Chain A
Amino acid sequence: ETGVTQSPTHLIKTRGQQVTLRCSSQSGHNTVSWYQQALGQGPQFIFQYYREEENGRGNFPPRFSGLQFPNYSSELNVNALELDDSALYLCASSLQAAELFFGEGSRLTVL
């Protein structure tokens, strides 16, 4: 167990809807990153938060947004869902550039 918890574990949405995924980081970690993993692919970096500020973003459109809270937990929000957003969404926490620890992920299916 890494101490990184994500919710919900599975969810189904329809095109055009909005979704919020949540992540509780490991105690003492101040950096949270979000990744999208499509079936059969490696995870792709969405963005990273450090001390409540976004400090890096991958090649994802603005409808992917996030927040980090004072307790370093985080949310990933996706608006106007598309079929291609179906994926496993992974949250990772770390103490800056040290070893990253991942949660079990949230499996999103968009119909």
Chain B
Amino acid sequence: KQEVTQIPAALSVPEGENLVLNCSFTDSAIYNLQWFRQDPGKGLTSLLLIQSSQREQTSGRLNASLDKSSGRSTLYIAASQPGDSATYLCAVIPYSGGSNYKLTFGKGTLLTVNP
């Protein structure tokens, strides 16, 4: 059974700091890994999708890496801003060989960026 763990559970940083969020998964047979952002009481906003054949993806100040063999992904946020404050969720799609594309999520990292 695939399990996804995110460390730390919560993180508080001053504005302008670079930071790294960690995600680990137990089964390396994955199809995709996707990072999301969730504001309080809201839905999920997709940040980055990394396919299993890729090592990293970048979008603006965000960079996500994937190491399938070790079962790890990191989300790097450069020059953090108060508007980055949110919960960040990591999710994997296992490679089932079929058409069932179910995401398994971690519990998320609650990020607070202080002005």
Interface residues of A (CB under 8 A from B): 2, 4, 6, 31, 33, 35, 40-45, 48, 50, 55-56, 58, 88, 90, 92, 94, 96-105, 107
Contacts and interface: CB of A to CB of B under 8 A. Distances in A.
A50 B98 CA distance: 12
Interface in B86-103: 89, 91, 93, 98-103
Contacts of A105: 42-43
Interface string B42-55: 11111001000000
Given A55-B99, A97-B101, A99-B46, A42 B41 contact: no
Interface of B: 4, 31-32, 34, 36, 41-46, 49, 89, 91, 93, 98-108
A102 B102 contact: no
A100 B93 CA distance: 10
B108 A42 contact: yes
Contacts of B91: 42-43
Contacts of B102: 33, 45, 48, 56, 58
Contacts of A45: 102-104
B46 A43 contact: no
A90 B43 contact: yes
Contacts of B42: 104-105
B105 to A, nearest CB: 3
B106 A42 contact: yes
Contacts of A103: 43
A97 B43 contact: no
B107 A42 contact: yes
B99 to A, nearest CB: 5
B93 A97 contact: yes
Nearest to A42: B105
Contacts of B93: 97
B52 to A, nearest CB: 10
15 contacts: A33-B101, A35-B103, A40-B107, A42-B91, A43-B105, A44-B105, A45-B102, A48-B100, A55-B98, A58-B102, A97-B93, A97-B101, A100-B34, A100-B101, A102-B46
